[in-house]
Amino acid sequence: MEIAGKHYRTVWLEGSTVQMINQPLLPHQFDIVDLVDVAATANAITTMIVRGAPAIGATGAYGMAQAVLLASPESWKAEVAAAARTLAATRPTAQDLFHGVDFVKRAIEGAQDLHSAQELAVAAARDLADDSAAACERIGEYGAELIEDGFRILTHCNAGWLACVDWGTALSPIYKAARSGKKVFVYVDETRPRCQGARLTAYELGGEQIPHAVIADNAAGYYMARGEIDMVIVGTDRTVRNGDVANKIGTYEKAVLAKRHGIPFYVAAPTTTLDFACATGADIPIEQRHEDEVLCMFGRDEEGKIRKVRIAPDNSPGYNPAFDVTPAELVTAIITERGVFKPEELSENDELLR
């Protein structure tokens, strides 16, 4: 995607430095972060400087390549193994993270020396990022066929190019549909507590000049009941064998509402987010994040400074699950880069989707 006429990916590797867009500063400030070692790269995942399953997966892969590039000849295997553990421990829910780390680990298994490992690691990380971007574009092509001219679409969280290497998952079909000449309107859930919809999805849609409006999370049912939403498209951090889907907290509520009002509910899922070793959504580990994300808000004040302010009483605790699980029976279909499947068809197409 383009910012001020220049094409950007969300994350990339420059020498041994991992570079990425600093997402917490958006939409008020566009900045690139330079991450000079694995500890910094891991911290960027934990603190959500980068977020979104495919983007995290690419960061994990680049972090592994970074570890190999910075390793010492005497102990490089031990250092890379430690880096893999550090990166994999950053966030527990997104399957793409583990795929990215393991992809580079497998690529260097046969390396006889550090120099060979470095070449293999860099090539693997870049291949993974390229493949991820291409997969998201194909998701857009398949998903755009489901969007009719004039559709009003609800999305939750940010599953656009900022959540991926490029194109996005849930937003990719919208971009493809709009670029083909279809008129669409997007209802953008704010997506508390971190407001990725209000901050990031709206930022992306504005850049693409796609008509949209930010709505409070609690307003989705109001618009569904009035017949003003034609379809829902969301992303996913992990989709398991039976078709259950883990996505940003609040997704389950939107799926229940969509079912109640007969509105199609689609999940855009690159095959790298599929976890066939996990039988049902009950087996997915759900990340619990810091209570301050619920108890506080941050944004730009009247002086143009980005500040955090507390909105809850000082003595009130907060609970902050980052994801919830949407049961397969609430999902109309899953849009992958290899086609559109009903949830129950995932296990039937095991070999195709692996």
Catalytic residue among 217, 237, 275, 324: 237
Statement to judge: residues 146 and 48 lie in one domain: no
Residue where one domain finishes, among candidates 137, 154, 174: 137
Q: What's at 187, amino acid-wise? A: Y
Statement to judge: residues 54 and 86 lie in one domain: yes
Number of domains the chain is built from:
2
Statement to judge: residues 153 and 238 lie in one domain: yes
| 127 carries an active-site annotation | no
Statement to judge: residues 265 and 281 lie in one domain: yes
Residue of 20, 74, 72 whose CA lies nearest to 45:
20
The dihedral sign for the CA sequence 228, 231, 235, 239 = positive
Hunting for tokens 């656009």 — which residue is that? 160
Statement to judge: residues 117 and 150 lie in one domain: no
Statement to judge: residues 209 and 312 lie in one domain: yes
Statement to judge: residues 89 and 236 lie in one domain: no
Residue 161, Cβ density class (10 Å: 0-12 exposed, 13-18 middle, ≥19 buried): buried
Q: What is the mean pLDDT of each run of 10 residues along the chain (354 residues)?
A: 90 98 95 98 97 97 98 95 97 95 96 95 98 98 98 98 97 98 98 97 97 98 98 97 97 98 98 94 96 93 90 97 98 97 87 70
Statement to judge: residues 339 and 193 lie in one domain: yes
Specify the pLDDT at position 184.
98
Core vs surface per residue 273-290: b (16+ CB within 10 A) or e: bbbeebeebeebebbebe
Beta strands 152-155 and 231-234 are parallel
Residues 232, 235, 237, 243: what is their CA dihedral angle, to the nearest 10 degrees? Answer: 50
Cα–Cα distance for residue pair 169/234, rounded to 1 Å: 8
Hunting for tokens 């379809």 — which residue is that? 231
Statement to judge: residues 308 and 203 lie in one domain: yes
Cα–Cα distance for residue pair 172/147, rounded to 1 Å: 12
Residue where one domain finishes, among candidates 116, 137, 158: 137
Residue 14, Cβ density class (10 Å: 0-12 exposed, 13-18 middle, ≥19 buried): exposed
* Entry field: residues in the chain: 354
Quote the domain boundaries for residue 327: 140-353
Statement to judge: residues 156 and 304 lie in one domain: yes
The CATH number of the domain holding residue 184 is: 3.40.50.10470
The CATH number of the domain holding residue 63 is: 1.20.120.420
Statement to judge: residues 129 and 83 lie in one domain: yes
Cα–Cα distance for residue pair 252/84, rounded to 1 Å: 32
Residue where one domain finishes, among candidates 137, 156, 182: 137
The dihedral sign for the CA sequence 103, 104, 107, 111 = negative
Cα–Cα distance for residue pair 167/100, rounded to 1 Å: 18
Residues 122, 124, 127, 132: what is their CA dihedral angle, to the nearest 10 degrees? Answer: -110
Statement to judge: residues 76 and 196 lie in one domain: no
